Amino acid sequence: MKNTDTLDFTGQVAIITGAGRGLGRQHALLLASRGCKVLINDLGGAYDGRGAVDSKVADAVVDQIKAAGGEATANCESVEEGELIVAAAIEAYGRVDIVVNNAGILTPEVWSELTLESWQRTIDINLTGVFSVMKAVWPIFVKQEYGRSIMTCSPAMHGAGVAAYAASKAGLIGLTNSLQFEALKLKLDIKCNILIPQADTRMTRDFATSVNQRRKDQGKSVPPRAPKALTDRLSPDKVSALIAWLAHQDCQAKANIFEAGGGYFARLNWARSRPLFAVDKKDANRVPTPEDIRDGQEALSDFENGDMPISGDGTMGGPSAFEQVFNHIRSEQFGSDKNHREV
């Protein structure tokens, strides 16, 4: 039976970084329309982090929310100064219940052109900046025994021509899992999850323009623009529903990774193959050889008889290798395990 209740955020406060445009703006508008008070954090600079601070960007979102009857406050601090962002929310509203870590920069250098300076700047904003905000808000979450955190990751983590950006976003997965484990140890209602959005935003458009110009300058062909029907379908507002659900008190998801874009939603999971035990039962001290691995590809490619590691519970993706070996030893003593392949 379909639940007809409307998800409400009355009395709650959200910090949304990078909320001046694109995805962050739509997240803010949706939460505010559901009664949430929102701190709109945005520097108003370019997609690659360059340019002077432009407070009008955050102010415009605040004005739009207030015009619709909601409550919002603008903030132009850098995520590198997370304590200032959190302090601004406390000063304005006295509490913080939700943090949507959406701010980020994207530089156009391909691997052969990527400099250490550009790499470090991307990591500083996209990963260390999230650490800075979460480090500042965490004592508040712990004190009130409640909190919701959503990290904005990227499909670039699977591999793309932007190594610094991909690495910075992939790092958010480890951070999220670690924070969720901290909450689990304290037995608190703090939920930390990850969103991998795909949307047509200013960042994606400006990045594409920059890359295409570089290709032209190098005498290379430029790929055709995506059809308007697709870009319209991939508008940022078609992602925000998932943010609202993950931010709600009824949501019990923990250390989950979700994809969203164009009205499409899915959850991602790690997958482990069927184990390969390259140790003879008659000689537990035998050292595996490279040929054992070569000859064990059938097991290492068998995901139907594998499992899905769990994140955020402190088992580091359990069952760990130690547990797997222990279970294998027990199977030798008490019976075989059909899911194990031995060489």
pLDDT tens-digit profile of 52-82?
A: 789 999 999 999 999 999 999 999 999 999 9
Concerning whether 47 is annotated as a catalytic residue, the answer is: no
Which stretch, 202-216, 232-246, 274-288, has highest mean pLDDT? 232-246
Report the amino acid identity of residue 180: Q
Catalytic residue among 47, 93, 146, 165: 165
Residue 75: phi and psi, rounded to 5, are -150, 135
What ranges make up the beta strands (E) of 198-263?
Answer: 257-261
Tell me which fold the domain 13-267 belongs to: Rossmann fold (3.40.50)
CB atoms within 10 A of CB 4: 5
Distance CA 82, CA 132 (A): 5
Where do you find CATH 3.40.50.720 in the chain?
13-267
Cα dihedral 72/74/80/83 (nearest 10): -60
Distance CA 136, CA 158 (A): 30
Lowest mean pLDDT of 95-99, 108-112, 164-168, 210-214, name the range.
Answer: 210-214
Task: Check residue 251 and give its pLDDT.
Answer: 98
* Angle, CA 188 vertex, CA 184 and CA 192 arms, to 5°: 65
Q: Is the pLDDT of residue 326 over 70?
A: no
Burial class (CB in 10 A: 0-12, 13-18, 19+), 158: exposed
Three-state DSSP class for residue 29: helix
Distance CA 283, CA 194 (A): 44
pTM for this entry:
0.87
Q: Give the residue carrying structure tokens 């959190």.
A: 86
The pairing of strands 257-261 and 264-268 is antiparallel
- Distance separating the N- and C-terminal Cα atoms of the chain: 51
pLDDT tens-digit profile of 190-232?
A: 999 999 998 776 766 666 666 656 666 777 877 777 777 777 7
Distance CA 201, CA 238 (A): 12
Distance CA 207, CA 220 (A): 17
* 105-144 per-residue burial string, b: 16 or more CB within 10 A, e: under 16: bbbbbeeeebeeebbebbbbbbbbbbbbbbebbbebbeee
Cβ atoms 153, 172 nearer than 8 A: yes
